[in-house]
Amino acid sequence: MAEEHCIVMENISKSYAGVEALDNVGIDILKGEVHCLIGENGSGKSTLIKIIAGVITPSRGACITIHGKNYSKLTPVDSMRQGIQIIYQDLSLFPNMTVAENIAINQLLESGKQTISKRLIHEIASNALKTICIDLKLETLVGDLPIAKQQIVAISRAVACGESLIIMDEPTSSLGKKDIDCLFRIIRTLKSNGISILFVGHKLNEIFEIADRVTVLKDGKSLGTHDIHELTYQKVIELMTGKALAISNYERDYPSAEPLLEVRNLSKRFQFKDINFTLYPGEIIGVTGLVGSGRTEMVSSLFGLNPADSGKILVNGKLTPIRSVRDALRAGICYVPEDRLSQGLFMNHSIKNNIIITIFHDLLNRLGLLESGKVKQTSSLWVKDLAIRTPSIELPVKQLSGGNQQRVVIAKWLARNPRILILDGPTIGVDVGAKEEIHKTIRALAGNGLGIIFVSDEAFEVVQHSHRIIIMKEGQVVEIVDSKDVLETDLLEKID
Amino acid sequence: MKAKHRIKFDSSQNELNQSVAYFSLFVLVFALMAILQPRRFLSGINIQQLAFQIPEFGIFSIGMMIVMISGGIDLSIITTATLSGIISSIVLLFLSHRGTMDLGALLKGIMADDTIRSGLHATMPTGISMIGIIVLTIFVALAVGFLCGLLNGFLVAKVKIPPILATLGTMRLYEGIALVITKGAPLTGFPDEFIFLGSGEILGIPVPMIIFILAILAVATLLAKTPLGRGIYAVGENPLAAQYSGLDNSKILMKTYAITGVLAGLAALIMMARVDSIKVGYGNSFLLQSVLVVILGGVSTVGGTGNIIGVVFSVLILRVISSGFNIMGFSNYMRNVIWGSLLIIVAIVISSGFRFIKKTKHIDEVISR
């Protein structure tokens, strides 16, 4: 048994403040397999991988066997020495260092050398990049790279360490299709070299493409490990959410009112060119394209963050130049940014203070001071409306799960009562169940007459949840298609 | 202790807990000093001295706190006070004709032309009442502080110089201007009515203490209850998210530094009135101490969090300890050793506190179920 297992974990339990985060979970990873770990937010996935990393100590009685060696608990050093490397979602890179330095750093530190030669660094880095068949300029600062490339650097770093188990925490959440294909190629290469991969994910199509076996966690309990061939989409979703999920395309009444937003010949040098589209009240327009297709640049120009050089924007038929965020807000345009952690939230501040940030002027009393009654009432209302799960509106948002954090960002904008809501990747890093709820929210908002621009790189969800789809490529609109007339697979082809 | 696990989830509860902790620490330190030196520490004179010393330092500290919450720092806070003190002193001495130093000679340094000087004298209103003069002096001090702060804010928010660099520059600039005006000489001989601001008492409470308490209330209200205050927290916590939320970051920062400047001007008035003189170099030791107190008071070193209660109690704690050292007769050298050790202990507590917070972070996984 021990021969073919890379790691076996049994009786893993962990509780915080009396609540069980993991309850007697077991998982075994074979040598050279791609093992997927899936589950909703709060199901205990992160706790489990942190235990493998040795960052968190499991409760008593845990039994961990790595390469035949027994541990009752791991330290981070044990874990690393045993060849376990984790690529966290935040990548843990050094933005001020070059690609080569980032890739080589672990190995250099481990080697204990007192001096460092640039040649050695470059050698380590270029070897690692070669293994995963990607070409990156070694001297670029990592902070200057787009997030997709940064991820590749993080993966290369793990590869450079020559690991036996690489754990990837939602590695595809910020990658375009090409990059994902490349990642999967890398994973297959690693697998054929006998390296095991624990792939923590939530995009089902990817799991079905790459996994050998799947372990499903729900509410801190394991629902068993299944061979991928035994599973179907429906089965996995049912396991994860505990309920049968009906997937249906968005039925719509075609909006017939006056156009809410008209974009004409919108252009910005080096970013996007001649963008034309019209958004009607109650309509959801999906915008999709690869990373670097100009979709984020385009939508952020509508919010005044990245004003366009030329072209016209009409709101309710009136010419509305948008040069700043204030212009956009005045026109009733709100924006849920792509990176909610750095652009959308004040992590250490309470849910309440995050929500009211956009609506101070509505909450003032006669003296011009914020009225705590109104503040509480308004924020509680939105917490309830968007079903944000929290024991208190005073809880810092950093303690919420990804899906709940995203709803706080949405709440902050809905509080302003906008007419047009731009959502840039609203379901990135959010699990199936929470995703479904965000989709429901978006549909309900459109039902109330809002115009919604919904940017996503998941073709599946764009097709499911929008009326029309703008496909962008290299800064231009390739095509605007009706979601009724398009299949997910067609869309993927058009994007590439 | 029983309810500990619940409290961790709730930031308002946390704030309350924190305040209780600071208060207890204050009582502890106070009691310790009282036990060690009961006669001298608890003597009326010492307590009164404390009550007169705390306000200047306290006002500097809450000024420093505001900029630090916004994610910056104001190294020019003391020289802002010096400059506003000196300019307002000149106004005060000029109008009250009571300068013990030769104002004519002083002004000769600045204005070469005699006719301007005499012209100034001629146009000077003679019938202003003392109240009017003092109100004008206060106004000038606060206005100079405001302008100094505004320049800091402009450099930080518009020119986008890192706050530590910008205010390091203006620190020297304001000090330089003050030196050009006075050549380093002290200004003294203020009218008694003005001295009242620094050493008077109302109903047995020292006037500076009253001013300090009013300043605390005003700043607490500003931070907790106004859009600007919430904006300061937001910009300090995450400037990008603030921008994406439609806040005008640079306007908020300009106002932040201007308010700190005004507080420096206020501290200058108390300082002038307490010792009946103002001079370049007064209060210099407050600069780093105020940064220390703000950090002690629980303001994040990168901005965004912290509240005034913690800072005010830290001011009290630090002053009580300092006064205790005085009484116990530690030498200046020994005092440095003790301060340094204390700072390191605090740093250890703060960083282990952070480690503790990191551990509790994972609770989200449990909660979100």
Would you place residue B97 in the very low, low, confident or very high pLDDT band (cuts 50, 70, 90)? low
Put simply, the answer to whether B244 touches A50 (Cβ < 8 Å) is: no
Nearest CA in chain B to A350: B11
State the pLDDT at residue B2: 37
Residue A421 sits at φ, ψ, to 5 deg, of -120, 120
The gap between the terminal CA atoms of chain A, to the nearest Å, is: 44
Long-range contacts for B98-105 (Cβ within 8 Å, ≥24 apart)?
B98/B189, B98/B190, B98/B191, B99/B187, B99/B189, B100/B188, B100/B189, B101/B185, B101/B187, B101/B188, B101/B189
Put simply, the answer to whether A16 touches B362 (Cβ < 8 Å) is: yes
For residue B232, what are its two tokens? 């300061």
Residues A174, A322, single domain; the answer is no
Using the predicted structure, report yes or no on whether residue A466 has a pLDDT greater than 60: yes
Return left, alpha or beta for B251; rule: phi > 0 is left, psi -120 to 50 is alpha, else beta: alpha
Q: What percent of chain A has pLDDT over 90?
A: 4
Which residues 271-300 in chain B show a CB within 8 A of chain A? 300
Using the predicted structure, report yes or no on whether residue B116 has a pLDDT greater than 50: no
For chain A, say whether B233 makes contact (Cβ under 8 Å): yes
Last residue of a domain, one of A213, A241, A269: A241
Using the predicted structure, report yes or no on whether residue B208 has a pLDDT greater than 60: yes
State the pLDDT at residue A236: 78
State the pLDDT at residue B338: 78
Put simply, the answer to whether B245 touches A358 (Cβ < 8 Å) is: yes
Q: Which domain holds residue A422?
A: 261-495
Q: Which range has the worst mean pLDDT, A23-37, A68-82, B352-366? A: B352-366
More confident residue, B87 or A194: B87
Would you place residue A463 in the very low, low, confident or very high pLDDT band (cuts 50, 70, 90)? confident
d(CA B309, CA A37): 46
Instruction: Pick the closest to residue A483 from A443, A434, A449 (CA basis).
Output: A443
Q: For residue B361, which residues of chain A lie inside 8 Å, CB to CB?
A: 398-399
**How many other CB atoms are found less than 10 A from the CB of residue A340?**
25
Q: Which of A50, A88, A346, A376 to mutate to test the interface with B (most CBs of B within 10 A)?
A: A346
Using the predicted structure, report yes or no on whether residue A248 has a pLDDT greater than 70: no
User: Who's near A126: CB < 8 A, 6+ residues apart?
Assistant: A100, A138
- Nearest by CB to residue A392, choosing from B10, B233, B364, is B10
Q: Which range has the worst mean pLDDT, A186-190, A274-278, B322-326, B355-359? A: B355-359
Q: For residue A90, which residues of chain B lie inside 8 Å, CB to CB?
A: none
Q: Average pLDDT of chain A?
A: 82
d(CA A304, CA A257): 26
Continuous segment of H or E residues that includes residue A24: strand A19-30
Nearest CA in chain B to A388: B368
- Nearest by CB to residue B9, choosing from A361, A391, A403, is A391
Residues A207, A304, single domain; the answer is no
Instruction: Pick the closest to residue A225 from A26, A22, A12 (CA basis).
Output: A26
In the block, tokens 């070409």 appear at: A135
Q: For residue B11, which residues of chain A lie inside 8 Å, CB to CB?
A: 350, 394-396
User: Who's near A45: CB < 8 A, 6+ residues apart?
Assistant: A37, A38, A39, A200, A217
Would you place residue A249 in the very low, low, confident or very high pLDDT band (cuts 50, 70, 90)? low
Q: Which range has the worst mean pLDDT, A47-51, A398-402, A409-413, B143-147? A: A398-402
Residues A141, A20, single domain; the answer is yes
For chain B, say whether A88 makes contact (Cβ under 8 Å): no
Residues A220, A355, single domain; the answer is no
Would you place residue B216 in the very low, low, confident or very high pLDDT band (cuts 50, 70, 90)? very high
For chain A, say whether B100 makes contact (Cβ under 8 Å): no
B62 in helix, strand or coil?
Answer: helix
For residue A484, what are its two tokens? 């009724």
Using the predicted structure, report yes or no on whether residue B81 has a pLDDT greater than 90: yes
**Is A320 contained in some domain?**
yes
Instruction: Pick the closest to residue B290 from B56, B30, B25 (CA basis).
Output: B56
Q: Average pLDDT of chain B?
A: 81
**Domain total for chain B?**
1
User: Hey, CA dihedral for B37, B38, B43, B46, is it positive or negative?
Assistant: positive
**Is B38 contained in some domain?**
no
Nearest CA in chain A to B224: A370
Would you place residue B25 in the very low, low, confident or very high pLDDT band (cuts 50, 70, 90)? confident
**How many other CB atoms are found less than 10 A from the CB of residue B40?**
16
For chain B, say whether A412 makes contact (Cβ under 8 Å): yes
Put simply, the answer to whether B362 touches A47 (Cβ < 8 Å) is: yes
State the pLDDT at residue A492: 64
**Is A254 contained in some domain?**
no
**Is A255 contained in some domain?**
no
Nearest CA in chain B to A413: B245
User: Who's near A347: CB < 8 A, 6+ residues apart?
Assistant: A341, A396, A397, A398, B237, B238
For chain B, say whether A349 makes contact (Cβ under 8 Å): yes
For chain A, say whether B245 makes contact (Cβ under 8 Å): yes
Using the predicted structure, report yes or no on whether residue B367 has a pLDDT greater than 50: no
Which residues 20-59 in chain B show a CB within 8 A of chain A? none
Put simply, the answer to whether A326 touches B246 (Cβ < 8 Å) is: yes
d(CA B264, CA B67): 12
Using the predicted structure, report yes or no on whether residue B181 has a pLDDT greater than 50: yes
- Nearest by CB to residue A47, choosing from B237, B246, B365, is B365
Q: What percent of chain B has pLDDT over 90?
A: 39
Per the CB < 8 A criterion, the answer to whether A11 and A26 are in contact is yes
For chain B, say whether A361 makes contact (Cβ under 8 Å): yes
Would you place residue A54 in the very low, low, confident or very high pLDDT band (cuts 50, 70, 90)? confident
In the block, tokens 């005073």 appear at: A394
Q: Which of B223, B305, B359, B367 to mutate to test the interface with A (most CBs of A within 10 A)?
A: B367
**Is A266 contained in some domain?**
yes
- Highest mean pLDDT of the ranges A156-160, A172-176, B116-120, B362-366: A156-160
Q: Which range has the worst mean pLDDT, A264-268, A307-311, B102-106? A: B102-106
Using the predicted structure, report yes or no on whether residue B109 has a pLDDT greater than 70: no
CATH of the domain at B275: 1.10.3470
Would you place residue B24 in the very low, low, confident or very high pLDDT band (cuts 50, 70, 90)? confident
Last residue of a domain, one of A186, A206, A241: A241
For residue B56, what are its two tokens? 């200047």
d(CA A184, CA A166): 13
Nearest chain B CA: its distance from A397 CA (Å): 9
For residue B2, what are its two tokens? 């029983």
**Is B100 contained in some domain?**
yes
State the pLDDT at residue A422: 92
More confident residue, A199 or A473: A199
State the pLDDT at residue B136: 92
Query: Considering the entire predicted model, what is its pTM?
Result: 0.73
**Is B350 contained in some domain?**
no
Q: For residue B69, which residues of chain A lie inside 8 Å, CB to CB?
A: none
**Is B167 contained in some domain?**
yes
Per the CB < 8 A criterion, the answer to whether A179 and A152 are in contact is yes
Cα distances from A479 to residues A29, A265, A468, in angstroms, run: 44, 15, 10
State the pLDDT at residue A367: 84
**Is A253 contained in some domain?**
no
Put simply, the answer to whether A21 touches B365 (Cβ < 8 Å) is: yes
State the pLDDT at residue B122: 45
The pLDDT tens digits for A293-325 are 888 888 889 998 888 888 888 888 888 888 888
Report the alpha-carbon angle B71-A144-A138, nearest 5: 135
Q: Which domain holds residue B259?
A: 48-329
Put simply, the answer to whether A46 touches B365 (Cβ < 8 Å) is: yes
**Is B345 contained in some domain?**
no
- Highest mean pLDDT of the ranges A249-258, A351-360, A475-484, B184-193: A351-360
pLDDT (average), residues A281-289: 87
Q: Which of B13, B245, B359, B362 to mutate to test the interface with A (most CBs of A within 10 A)?
A: B245
Residue A220 sits at φ, ψ, to 5 deg, of 80, 5
Count of A–B CB contacts within 8 Å?
134
Residue A458 burial by CB count (10 A; 0-12/13-18/19+): exposed, middle or buried? buried
Q: What is the ipTM of this complex?
A: 0.78
Alpha helices in A360-466 (DSSP H): 372-385, 402-414, 432-447, 459-465
- Nearest by CB to residue B230, choosing from A345, A360, A401, is A360
- Nearest by CB to residue B368, choosing from A18, A396, A401, is A401
The pLDDT tens digits for B52-67 are 889 999 999 999 999 9
User: Hey, CA dihedral for B43, B46, B50, B51, is it positive or negative?
Assistant: positive
**Domain total for chain A?**
2
pLDDT (average), residues A369-390: 87
State the pLDDT at residue B149: 95
Strand partners, A453: A285, A422
User: Who's near B248: CB < 8 A, 6+ residues apart?
Assistant: A326
State the pLDDT at residue B268: 95
Residues A441, A368, single domain; the answer is yes
Return left, alpha or beta for B71; rule: phi > 0 is left, psi -120 to 50 is alpha, else beta: left
State the pLDDT at residue A176: 67
Per the CB < 8 A criterion, the answer to whether B315 and B219 are in contact is no
The pLDDT tens digits for A103-146 are 888 777 777 777 778 888 888 888 888 877 777 888 888 888 87
Continuous segment of H or E residues that includes residue A335: strand A333-336
Angle between helices A118-131 and A147-160 (to 10 degrees): 100
Instruction: Pick the closest to residue A252 from A478, A423, A427, A452 (CA basis).
Output: A452
Would you place residue B234 in the very low, low, confident or very high pLDDT band (cuts 50, 70, 90)? very high
d(CA B118, CA A113): 76
d(CA A304, CA A313): 11
A171 in helix, strand or coil?
Answer: coil
Residues A85, A187, single domain; the answer is yes
**Is A247 contained in some domain?**
no
Q: Which range has the worst mean pLDDT, A342-351, B234-243, B344-353? A: B344-353
State the pLDDT at residue B270: 94
The pLDDT tens digits for B237-249 are 999 999 988 899 9
The strand ranges marked E within B287-363 are none
Using the predicted structure, report yes or no on whether residue A376 has a pLDDT greater than 50: yes
**Is B349 contained in some domain?**
no
pLDDT (average), residues A207-227: 85
Alpha helices in A175-294 (DSSP H): 177-192, 204-210, 233-241
Last residue of a domain, one of A187, A206, A241: A241
pLDDT (average), residues B84-106: 73
CATH of the domain at A152: 3.40.50.300
pLDDT (average), residues A257-286: 86
**Is A291 contained in some domain?**
yes
For chain B, say whether A400 makes contact (Cβ under 8 Å): yes
d(CA A340, CA A424): 10
State the pLDDT at residue B156: 94
State the pLDDT at residue B266: 96
State the pLDDT at residue B271: 92
Q: For residue A350, which residues of chain B lie inside 8 Å, CB to CB?
A: 11-12
Q: What percent of chain A has pLDDT over 70?
A: 90
For chain A, say whether B303 makes contact (Cβ under 8 Å): no
Put simply, the answer to whether A47 touches B244 (Cβ < 8 Å) is: no
For residue B183, what are its two tokens? 């050549």
Nearest CA in chain A to B359: A56
State the pLDDT at residue A61: 78
Instruction: Pick the closest to residue A110 from A139, A88, A77, A138 (CA basis).
Output: A77
d(CA A425, CA A462): 10
Would you place residue B256 in the very low, low, confident or very high pLDDT band (cuts 50, 70, 90)? very high
Count of alpha carbons within 13 angstroms of residue A435, beta-carbon side: 24
Which residues 3-62 in chain A show a CB within 8 A of chain B? 16-21, 41-42, 44, 46-47, 50, 56
- Nearest by CB to residue B246, choosing from A20, A46, A329, is A329
Would you place residue B100 in the very low, low, confident or very high pLDDT band (cuts 50, 70, 90)? very low
**Is B43 contained in some domain?**
no
Nearest chain A CA: its distance from B179 CA (Å): 41
**Is B7 contained in some domain?**
no
Nearest chain A CA: its distance from B218 CA (Å): 12
The pLDDT tens digits for B276-316 are 889 888 888 888 889 988 988 888 888 888 889 989 998 99
For chain A, say whether B243 makes contact (Cβ under 8 Å): yes
User: Who's near B203: CB < 8 A, 6+ residues apart?
Assistant: none
Rounded to the nearest angstrom, the gap between the alpha carbon of residue A133 and the centroid of all alpha carbons in its chain is 24
d(CA A187, CA A155): 10
State the pLDDT at residue A208: 84
